[in-house]
Amino acid sequence: MAWITCDFYSETLELSTGIEVFLPQAKLMTSGSSSRLPVLYLLHGRGADQTEWMRRSSIERYAENKGIALVMPGVGRSYYMDMANGPSYFTFLSEELPQLVQSFFPVSRRREDTFVAGISMGGYGAFKLVLTYPERYAAGASLSGGLDLASRAAGRGFQEAEIRTLFGSVDRLEGSRDDLLYLASEFAAYQGEKPMLYQCCGTEDFLYKDNQTFRQCADSLGIHITYEEEPGGHEWGYWDRKIQRVLDWLPLP
The amino acid at residue 158 is: F
The average pLDDT across 226-230 equals 98
30-53 tens-digit pLDDT: 544 458 999 999 999 999 999 999
Q: Domain 2-249: which topology?
A: Rossmann fold (3.40.50)
Instruction: Give the global pTM.
Output: 0.96
Question: pLDDT at position 32, please?
Answer: 47
Domain extent listing, the chain: 2-249
Tell me whether strands 39-43 and 69-73 are parallel, antiparallel or unpaired: parallel
In the chain, % of residues over pLDDT 70: 96
81-111 tens-digit pLDDT: 999 999 999 999 999 999 999 999 999 999 9
Count other C-beta atoms under 10 Å from residue 237's C-beta.
12
Count other C-beta atoms under 10 Å from residue 51's C-beta.
14
The DSSP code sequence of 192-248 is: SPPPEEEEEEETT-TTHHHHHHHHHHHHHTT---EEEEES--SSHHHHHHHHHHHHH
